Amino acid sequence: MGFRQKKFCKLMLAGVLLCMVILMLSVVVYQEKQIDYSWLEFVDDETSEDNCNCKKIIEGDIEEIERAKILTITRTFKNKTKVTDEQYTEVTKDCEIFRTTHKYLPVVLSEEEEAFPLAYSIVVHHKVQNFEWLLRSIYAPQNFYCIHVDKKSPESTVKAINAIVSCFDNVFIASQLEEVVYASWSRVQADLNCMKDLYLISDRWKYLINLCGQDLPIKTNLEMVRALKELGGGNSLETESMPAHKEVRWKKRHIVKDGTIQITDQDKMPPPHGIKLFSGGAYFVVSRAFVHYVFEDPKAQDLMSWSTDTFSPDEFIWATLQRIPGVPGFIRAHSKFDVTDMFSISRLIKWVYHEGSYDAVYPPCQGIHVRAVCVYGVGDLQWMLEQNHLFANKFDVDFDPIAMRCLGKHLRHKALHLQH
């Protein structure tokens, strides 16, 4: 063989070897990108909640929905699905086992989610099992979670929630806790305490969402990230013109006495700076810039100070701040720009007086009503997942754990396999 032929053969061999190396590296990279997350599925694992076919329920199968409804009212089923506060305190003694068996996400599922962390303020006072299912459903290692536990909560509840929280680096108890009285300023203060803690703990998160212990997500984390990006730095919360019958809530001074809020005969001064009040709800989705404004702007601080002796300030304070010119993401005060709860993505709530059939705001509740609000059942899931909201309220593990389980299974499967 001539010199040129030998040289050519060596070059060919080197080329073949290089191609093989590149191919092997490509396979390795591909395999790394195709990590098997199937063990994180909320699969059927012989728990009582898995005695029904969740896929059929979410598709609206009437027979399967009725079977689930019958199952949830049996005493045996209720006893098997209940997890006590003491059991949570015990199972969290080994955090690694707790996180693994309860299938908390140990990794960020996408670069897009990693680059867009979220912050959560969660107000809880009872039903630890509900809270734990909520945390499990929204937990991701890149996000931040502040938990406000009502000072009035039973000792077993406080102990169990503290035990759960201790198993995570990015979940913490609020540095200041309130004794929350229904319809008083303390409900707003609880969120403000978490808001402040979250603002100081990291400058990475992009949006803040406030929740209560009976909320559940109806979107995956990635779907939320993409929905929030579409806001373009804006906020999403209910904010409407103040109806006349609610004016007494802030025109008269209110006080907390014997654990309840009571009206007095004392007139209040008008809102400071000529601020026009708007009606809304307790729940919001707001940008980090909005949070900065709340704590740093004198006008916002004056409004909050003025609101401390009003009735149900959580139902006007956020709605009003959103309409003040200069607030990051504000919308104009004219009624044409009002946002109802159906168009705010913060929370999906079925009110009994808006339910009905044709031309009603929502179809009839398939669960039960508590204080005019639908506690969702399995029959609500199909409709719920068709809505644009990020979260739904309310759920109760003591009423329908199958609805919670099926919703969680659906979203976890979607997060792991159907969206990236």
Q: Which of the residues are catalytic? A: 315
Cα(50)–Cα(46) distance, integer angstroms:
6
Residue pair 295/197 in contact by the 8 Å Cβ criterion: no
- φ, ψ dihedrals at 241, nearest 5°: -55, 140
Helix, strand, coil in percent for the chain, rounding step 5? 45, 15, 35
Rounded to 5°, the CA angle 192-198-199 comes to 85
Q: How does DSSP classify residue 352? A: G
Rounded to 5°, the CA angle 409-410-415 comes to 95
Go through the chain and tell me how many residues it has: 420
Query: What is the separation of C-alpha 289 from the centre of its chain, rounded to a whole number of angstroms?
Result: 20
On the 0-12 / 13-18 / 19+ scale of CB atoms within 10 A, 323 is buried
Q: Which two tokens stand for residue 94?
A: 């080994």
Give the CA distances from residue 38 to residues 31, 152, 224, 372, in Å, rounded to whole numbers and listed in that order.
15, 40, 22, 40
Cα(198)–Cα(194) distance, integer angstroms:
6
- Which residues, including other chains, have CB under 8 Å from residue 275's CB and lie 6 or more apart? 299, 303, 320, 324
Cα(406)–Cα(412) distance, integer angstroms:
10
Q: How does DSSP classify residue 315? A: G
CA distance from start to end of the chain: 55
Q: Which two tokens stand for residue 208?
A: 């803040």
Cα(318)–Cα(237) distance, integer angstroms:
8
Query: What is the separation of C-alpha 418 from the centre of its chain, rounded to a whole number of angstroms?
Result: 21
Cα(316)–Cα(281) distance, integer angstroms:
7
Cα(48)–Cα(44) distance, integer angstroms:
9
Query: Quick count: other Cβ atoms within 10 Å of Cβ 177?
Result: 18
